[in-house]
Structure 1
Amino acid sequence: MGAHDAPPDRRLGRVVFAVGVALSALLMFLGAWERRWIADDGLIVLRTVRNLLAGNGPVFNIGERVEANTSTLWTYLVYAAGRLTGIRLEYVVLGIALVLSTTAVVLAMFGAARLYRWRLRDAGGALLLLPAGVLVYIAVPPARDFATSGLETCLVICWIGLLWLLMMRWATPDPERARPLPGTAQILGTAFVAGLGPLVRPELALLAVLALLMLFLTPDLTWRVRAAMVAVAGGVPVGYQIWRMGYYGLPYPNTAVSKDAGGAKWSQGFEYLGNLVSPYLLWLPFLFLAVAAAAVLMTTRRRERPAGGPVPAARPWEVRGLDARTVVARAQRALRTPTAVVGFALVSGLALALYSMRVGGDFMHGRVLLPPMFCLLLPVAVLPLRLPERSRIGNDAPTRFAAGMAFLWLGTIVWSFFASNTTGMVEGAVVGRSGIVDERAFYALNTGHLHPIRAEDYLDYPRMRAMVGAIADNPNGGLLLPTPSFDTWDVVPPPEPIPPGGAGHTVFFLNLGMTSMNTSLQTRVVDQMGLAYPLASHTERLEDGRIGHDKILYPDWVVADTGMVDVHPWLPAYLDEDWVAMAQVALTCPQTQELLASSRADLTWGLFKRNLRNALDYADYRIERVPKYEIQRCDLEMPPPRN
């Protein structure tokens, strides 16, 4: 049946849904554009992309193989777009982010529409699918902040939305075209998309494994198809994992080592959850939508038809006599149903939320809880409003049900309007006791730019212009250390003789993005937290440190590691010559030398195999941040005092 031949009720439903999709996509796009920016952490990604474009490999600093970006796929997507377009990387990121964030909303709505069209396929009257959950997501200010930001949030929610739609299509025949369930080709395509999860972000392996198990256990699949599914889903991520372990010497990105992603900070995690929920009364729209979803479920309760044909309702005396094989077969068939896919979305959202809370959340307001929230809103991305037939409008059950759904939908819309115009965190631009900050407001305030996007915009951040000047004023090279003053840097010089062209510059500063993007690729940029510096990332986590910044490497280590002059007056007064001497000895620890060689030594086939074999051990290796204690741990000889 063509679009013009469809009944009037169906045509009305299609028009309303199309308008809702277009309006929601427009709101997402305009909301993201209004709050467009690129965070300092977003600029970190671009440093790696610059090195890729320059032929230096996927590294942050030349000569040191460190995976400083959490999302592998985001890094290579930006690289590919940058190479193809040749335009400025900041604008490449901005364009990709706007497209992916908008697409995510559309995919979520199409998946939910498929669910309700199937669930309500036998009901009479016009079925209006109204945007609901997607408007809740768009209304929360952090969702629009991180729709751009240069970070991978846009890619994460787009991947989740795509997987949701594919899984829903896999579980439901087309209710309007009477087509059967999708076959092998779509199963393999869905498996491929699911397999990309760990490359989008490592924790998305939770969703990928759950989706792949549902696909793999589908009844009536041959083992040949199952084997093809495993190959299709695992080919890219497993191949990359082998390469990552051999190339970087770690089983996951260095950011996970730096932030101890396996650690637990539940109290901070609950504070982070409250920091997102409380300012916007976020529980209220979830309550509205949960009641609406429950009402639809209760009024349309039926035995779904899984793949493989109808399953007759079991009688009580038959259930008691079922054997284990029959129970397993029924459970397998139940996996390929819309209800199971809804369960997949809800379980995935809860699992991601619990993981994020376990590690303590993040220092950026709302950021790591956006994907879990997006997952939980997928089944109610749209709400179904079934208009009773004109002849039956009155004080009957269908009319009351439609009125109730309209009330819940309007309540969600009213909340979305007020939430979207809420400032959010009180004094969010100031880092308070919780360590959580409104990152966009913070950088807009401290750079003086409403939309800091280009690297040059961050030259107006404290210390940045002074850093550029200090590098220019010291052509022989040296180690730049930040001072309490916002307009000066201490420069520890290199020892003489100075090689032709200088000994090179190293900048030691927390904000890696703005520093690395405002310096040349030949300038080494490292941080005390260890995002791009293995020596710092392999120190122990500070239990009471600020979340996301709870590793601090003393600058004495960097003086020793870079081989700069280690005595006064060339050494800044606040550094101790004895500490530097002890750091020099501590760096000779054989295990530490092996760890550093895994990323700094020339990559030979022998080193690749050693890294591959020892990657898990390297990830677990930790260094005492106090040089004296590290010497004791490694059973080395203490250097004689210099003073």
Structure 2
Amino acid sequence: MSVFGRLLTKGNELVPRQVFASFSFLVLLAFFLNNFWLGDDGFITFRTAHNWVNGYGLRWNSVERVQTYTNTLWLFYITPLYLLTTDIYISALLGSLAAFVALVLILYRNSSSDLAFAIIMLLMVSSKSFLEYTSSGLENVLSFALLSAYFFTYSRLASGLTRVESAGFPKGSWMVSLLFAALFLNRMDSILLVLIPQLILAYHLVRSWRRVGMRPLLQNACAVLPIVLWLLFSLVYYGFFFPNTFYAKTTFAIDSVRWKWVLGYYKYALYMDPLLLVLPAIALALSVSRRGRKYLPFGTGVLLYNAYIIQVGGDFMGGRWLTLPYIISICILAAWWDFGTLTRFKYRDLAVAGLVFVAAYSLQNRLMRYNPFVAQQGGMPVLNTDLFNGVVDERLTLGQFTRITKCLNGPCFMVHPLYLMGYALRAEGESGRIPSGGAMGLLGFAAGPGVRIIDRQGLCDPLLARMEGQPIAPGHVFRQVPDGYDVPGEVISDPVLRDYNERLQIVTRGDLWTQERWNAILAFNFGQLRTFHTYRENQNRSAP
């Protein structure tokens, strides 16, 4: 009998299961707390939460209704904590920790053995990016928990979908649809990972309703109703179905930089966090094997999500988006690999040993290797942003100010230059030119609701989001601030752009239910006002 086989033989536990579970949780908790940090993009959501709590509504700039966040569920999850604690750092810590604990419990309960969970635990802590984005102030950790819950809930129902005629429709299918809706609300593009399973479920619901009745179909329809309700609310309140960031990142010519950015993104993963690529490749191989074909819909989702990453040109936060396929791959491994069969198959023994070695090597490499991004100047980290074509280790920026050791008993992010700049703006108010810039998260949070800020990337500005810009890095497209736009009391000098902005302000600042506003909403969503470029072209064609 092999070494792994002896460890896995039932009744031959090295330690009681409760002791192992407690020890595992403490190890993961230590890794989580040691790596906890908050990034600048997280503070974009936090500023909206702050304004909402203080009575300004779901707004980033308090004077206009603009959806600057892509993580609706995460915002709704963090805001009550912020209302109770009045401390955004503690709120993010508690919210991230609760989601992380939920993820660990889901994986533990669905692992076939203690060794299986030990290997899963090693994979979790061995990925630099996965561990980093269990916090950061962004929605990733909540997506991890929701994706794992979706995977195991659907997997339990999948076999029943083929026996509907004899056994009826599987009970609890509505929970799968509810988790799908939660994923959509937490971040829309994350549903690509579970889109195929959800379509399979929908197909069986429609196909079998005559035999099993309408109840399962109605239950699932109600479960996805939050998606419809949110889209309707977004259209009424903001005037658009999608976040402002969608328009900011789709109004420039990405073809000229797509492959440069994508190659940098995957090069970062290969060099800094190879498990992000190795484990999904293993999961794909397992999902096309004879025994693993029931997981093929999720393997296809991994491919779809990577195709999406390529289409949009990646992201400047190294590894962040790849962590979602990574957690799906962990789930596939946990479900497919019955570690108890290692007593009979020595080649699987060798495969597991190899996987453990790769994970251990990755962990050691992450802890010991000199980070190529960082050069020290006066004690401050300076990033080499050209190393991977603009893709960076984001935790090395604001993360150096927001680690637990610097925040629970120290000034935390309040001494960061961006926070100090924002706090100075709060004291000055709108006494001069409206401030504009690139990194708007922490600066905007510090400035408070009384200061309007122009985001030159367009992520938080409705006008600039619909103007063409200059791509300088993944996710970073800078626009030129129009003359007069950043001066209170003045008007934009370009008459065509001024007219376009006045129509846009009817949507973002006007009364919700006027006929004029709804005509403008239709034009911006479906007509000639979708982008300023198309509007100017139409104006030029119609000019005498």
Structure 1 residues 287 and 273, CA, compared in 2 at 3 Å: closer, same or farther? closer
Counterpart of 1:478 in 2: which secondary structure? coil
Counterpart of 2:442 in 1: which secondary structure? helix
Equivalent-residue separation in structure 2 for 1:384 and 1:42 (angstroms): 39
Task: Return the match for 1:228 from 210, 218, 235.
Answer: 218
Structure 1 residues 172 and 620, CA, compared in 2 at 3 Å: closer, same or farther? farther
Query: Which of 40-49 and 24-33 deviates more?
Result: 24-33
Give the structure 1 partner of residue 3 of structure 2.
none
Structure 1 residues 420 and 11, CA, compared in 2 at 3 Å: closer, same or farther? farther
Contact 1:285 1:415 in 2 (8 A): no
Task: Return the match for 1:200 from 186, 191, 197.
Answer: 186
Give the structure 2 partner of residue 408 of structure 1.
354
Aligned residues: 514
Counterpart of 2:242 in 1: which secondary structure? coil
Give the structure 2 partner of residue 596 of structure 1.
505
Give the structure 2 partner of residue 367 of structure 1.
320
Give the structure 1 partner of residue 271 of structure 2.
278
Contact 2:38 2:135 in 1 (8 A): yes
Q: Verify: 1:345 aligned to 2:272, yes or no.
A: no
Counterpart of 1:368 in 2: which secondary structure? coil
Q: Verify: 1:238 aligned to 2:228, yes or no.
A: yes
1:110-163 residue CA offsets vs partner (Å, 9 max, x unmatched): 4454xxx9xxxxxxxxx9534334522321222222211111111111111110
Higher relative contact order structure (alpha carbons within 8 Å, sequence separation ≥ 6): 2
Equivalent-residue separation in structure 1 for 2:408 and 2:510 (angstroms): 35
Q: CA deviation at 1:103?
A: 2.3
Equivalent-residue separation in structure 2 for 1:292 and 1:207 (angstroms): 17
Give the structure 2 partner of residue 461 of structure 1.
416
Contact 1:250 1:611 in 2 (8 A): no
Give the structure 2 partner of residue 312 of structure 1.
none
Q: Verify: 1:534 aligned to 2:462, yes or no.
A: yes
Length-normalised TM-score, structure 2: 0.81
Q: Verify: 1:132 aligned to 2:119, yes or no.
A: yes
Structure 1 residues 23 and 607, CA, compared in 2 at 3 Å: closer, same or farther? farther
Query: Which of 527-536 and 448-457 deviates more?
Result: 448-457
What letter matches 1:411 in structure 2? Answer: F
Give the structure 1 partner of residue 489 of structure 2.
563
Task: Return the match for 1:379 from 332, 337, 346.
Answer: 332
Contact 2:153 2:176 in 1 (8 A): yes
CA RMSD of aligned residues (A): 4.0
Q: Verify: 1:268 aligned to 2:258, yes or no.
A: no
Equivalent-residue separation in structure 2 for 1:77 and 1:362 (angstroms): 25
Contact 1:349 1:374 in 2 (8 A): no
Task: Return the match for 2:395 from 419, 432, 440.
Answer: 440
What letter matches 2:103 in structure 1? Answer: A
Counterpart of 1:131 in 2: which secondary structure? helix
Give the structure 1 partner of residue 46 of structure 2.
46
Give the structure 1 partner of residue 136 of structure 2.
149
Equivalent-residue separation in structure 2 for 1:447 and 1:196 (angstroms): 28
Give the structure 2 partner of residue 88 of structure 1.
87
Contact 1:247 1:611 in 2 (8 A): no
Structure 1 residues 597 and 12, CA, compared in 2 at 3 Å: closer, same or farther? farther
Counterpart of 1:588 in 2: which secondary structure? helix
Contact 1:248 1:611 in 2 (8 A): no
Task: Return the match for 1:518 from 442, 446, 466.
Answer: 446
Structure 1 residues 104 and 277, CA, compared in 2 at 3 Å: closer, same or farther? farther
Q: Find the structure with the greater CA-based Rg.
A: 1
Q: CA deviation at 1:615?
A: 5.2
Equivalent-residue separation in structure 1 for 2:408 and 2:438 (angstroms): 19
Contact 2:144 2:324 in 1 (8 A): yes
What letter matches 2:236 in structure 1? Answer: G
1:5-31 residue CA offsets vs partner (Å, 9 max, x unmatched): xxx954557978766665554443322
Query: Which of 185-194 and 152-161 deviates more?
Result: 185-194
Between the two proteins, what is the percent identity of the paired residues? 19
Equivalent-residue separation in structure 1 for 2:362 and 2:402 (angstroms): 30
Give the structure 1 partner of residue 177 of structure 2.
191
Structure 1 residues 556 and 343, CA, compared in 2 at 3 Å: closer, same or farther? same
Give the structure 2 partner of residue 63 of structure 1.
63
Equivalent-residue separation in structure 2 for 1:69 and 1:454 (angstroms): 30
Q: CA deviation at 1:244?
A: 0.7
Contact 2:457 2:478 in 1 (8 A): yes
Equivalent-residue separation in structure 2 for 1:618 and 1:458 (angstroms): 44
Q: CA deviation at 1:95?
A: 1.0
Counterpart of 1:545 in 2: which secondary structure? strand
What letter matches 2:493 in structure 1? Answer: M
